[in-house]
Amino acid sequence: MHNGAKVINRLEITFITTFVNMFEVKEIQDTDLVQNPVIAQMSKMSHEQILFCNDNSTGLKAIIAVHNTVLGPALGGTRMWMYNNEMEALNDVLRLSRGMTYKNAISGLNLGGGKAVIIGDSHSMKSEALMRRFGKFVNSLGGKYITAEDVGISTTDMTYVNMETNHVVGLPGKSGDPSPVTAQGVYMGMKACAKEQFGTDSLEGKKVAVQGVGHVGEYLVQSLLKEGAIVSVTDAYEPTLKKIAKSYNVNIVGLDEIYDLDMDIYAPCALGATVNDETLNRLKCSIIAGAANNQLQDELKHGVEVMKKGIIYAPDYVLNAGGVINCFSEVKGLSHDWVKDKANDIYNTIGSIVKRSKEENVPAYQIANKIAEERIESIGKVKLPL
Ligand code: NAD
């Protein structure tokens, strides 16, 4: 199925050290992080600012992390999640905000990276007052951070946030649901991977397994079927799966069965970390390209292993940038055509990353990180942080 052997022979494990991540301060030890879990952690990942938010009357407990504003205001969604403890929430917001810096940079957007997390159950703890109080905290950052929807947050919630701050995107009647744009970017990036792996970017007859057919996954399935791909899908939510089975000519497979399928392309569009020690022993694909964030459970380890297996991995934050491209258009008042062109351009960005990855024997995600860092570094020379 995949041409792994060729690649394995050319691999040098030393490439792990090829790129030193500019956003990591190496001298901070894990033991320091136990005793100094906040600023030491910020320093390790090069965050600019964290705002801890508390409001007893509404029950709001939130953390806003601004990772980097060299390219522009930090844009990233607000996630509401019942974290087990504060450290879990802090780690999540630090990791996600840093990811936004890379995503925005590599997408050529003049945006920095930020993210917010609200600690709590999105089904039972949300209220107009809580969202408005959160909006006040966003506003206190004076535009350094622009928020948007993420897991557990709806457009209605964002309208409450908007009552207290203008630094919010993804409002009803504005740029709208980003999912079709995200799916278009994933589809184009997948085609670029196919071009590199199969010599043609046509997906006709290619066996594609889509894990998760929610907002993005369903749009992706539509594009794949239109091109003549043979599509298998799975989803954890039975009603969604039933709807998809009724509407499209796809093979429905079990939640775990998806990893063992005879497939050309694995498209994770549900959860992160599905490319891990266990699944890598099972996946028989030649391309991994999907919308989910943080697909590699351990970037360093699994990025190398994917490559050793001859699988082309499309770095997730590059591939799924359609959503933030859509948000950026709202910030700048750009047209839908601009959004479409920019999402289609993910073909070229992914194409050059996977080509360079093969030529230089360096995992694709490392190439992507380097390109993002180079842009921030070069623009930083002509522009001071906000
Ligand atoms: P969604 O919640 O609409 O869809 C996710 C689907 O995955 C749901 O139908 C859910 O039932 C299913 N699912 C959950 N666990 C599963 C499992 N173990 N196996 C199979 N299916 C499972 O989310 P979405 O907006 O379609 O986003 C999908 C992924 O893409 C997420 O990881 C999200 O962070 C990422 N993403 C989305 C956008 C966007 O524009 N929506 C942008 C960038 C990244």
Short-list 199, 191, 212, CA closest to 350: 191
Question: In which band, very low, low, confident or very high, does the pLDDT at 23 lie, cut at 50, 70 and 90?
Answer: low
Return the structure tokens found at 303.
Answer: 């990025």
pLDDT of residue 174: 87
DSSP state of 36: S
pLDDT of residue 7: 38
Establish whether 115 is a catalytic residue.
Answer: yes
112 backbone dihedrals φ, ψ, rounded to 5°: -90, -170
- C-alpha span between 334 and 101 (Å, rounded): 21
List where CATH 3.40.50.720 sits in the chain: 4-13+178-363
Short-list 186, 180, 181, CA closest to 319: 186
pTM over 0.95: no
CA torsion, points 304, 309, 310, 314, in degrees to nearest 10?
-50
| Percentage of the chain lying above the pLDDT 90 cut | 82
Options 61, 103, 115, 358, the catalytic residue: 115
Q: What is the pLDDT of residues 247-280, one digit of tens each?
A: 999 999 999 999 999 999 999 999 889 999 999 9
Question: Do the beta carbons of residue 103 and residue 318 sit within 8 Å?
Answer: yes
> How far is ligand 1, taken at its centre, from the CA of residue 334, in Å?
26
Q: What is the pLDDT of residues 118-137, one digit of tens each?
A: 999 998 999 999 999 999 99
Q: What is the pLDDT of residues 166-198, one digit of tens each?
A: 999 988 888 888 999 999 999 999 999 999 999
In single-letter form, the type of residue at position 216 comes to V
Alpha helices in 163-256 (DSSP H): 179-198, 215-226, 238-247
- C-alpha span between 184 and 245 (Å, rounded): 21
| Residues in the chain, total | 386
Question: In which band, very low, low, confident or very high, does the pLDDT at 29 lie, cut at 50, 70 and 90?
Answer: low
DSSP state of 169: -
Q: What is the pLDDT of residues 70-91, one digit of tens each?
A: 999 999 999 999 999 999 999 9
pLDDT of residue 62: 98
- C-alpha span between 278 and 274 (Å, rounded): 9
Short-list 336, 79, 321, 344, CA closest to 182: 321
Q: Which of 213, 240, 269, 316 to mutate to test the pocket of ligand 1 (most atoms within 8 A of CB)?
A: 269
Residues 6+ apart with CB under 8 A from 49: 65, 66, 141, 144
- C-alpha span between 307 and 357 (Å, rounded): 9
In single-letter form, the type of residue at position 234 comes to T
- C-alpha span between 32 and 41 (Å, rounded): 9
CATH, range 47-162: 3.40.50.10860
Return the structure tokens found at 67.
Answer: 């990772």
Taking CB atoms and a 6 Å cutoff, what residues make up the pocket around ligand 1? 178-179, 182, 211-217, 234-237, 240, 255, 269-271, 291-293, 320, 323
Residue 343 CA to chain centroid, in angstroms?
14
CATH number for 4-13+178-363: choose from 3.40.50.720, 3.30.1300.10, 3.40.50.1370, 3.30.70.1150: 3.40.50.720
Return the structure tokens found at 172.
Answer: 């009803």
Is a pLDDT exceeding 70 seen at residue 25? no
> How far is ligand 1, taken at its centre, from the CA of residue 269, in Å?
5
Question: Do the beta carbons of residue 326 and residue 336 sit within 8 Å?
Answer: no
Q: Which of 216, 223, 250, 339 to mutate to test the pocket of ligand 1 (most atoms within 8 A of CB)?
A: 216
Question: In which band, very low, low, confident or very high, does the pLDDT at 34 lie, cut at 50, 70 and 90?
Answer: confident
- C-alpha span between 267 and 112 (Å, rounded): 27
Rounded-to-5 percentages of helix, strand, coil across the chain = 45, 15, 40
List where CATH 3.40.50.10860 sits in the chain: 47-162
Per mean pLDDT, which range of 40-54, 256-270, 320-334, 371-385 is the poorest? 371-385
Is a pLDDT exceeding 70 seen at residue 159? yes
Residue 135 CA to chain centroid, in angstroms?
24
Is a pLDDT exceeding 90 seen at residue 3? no
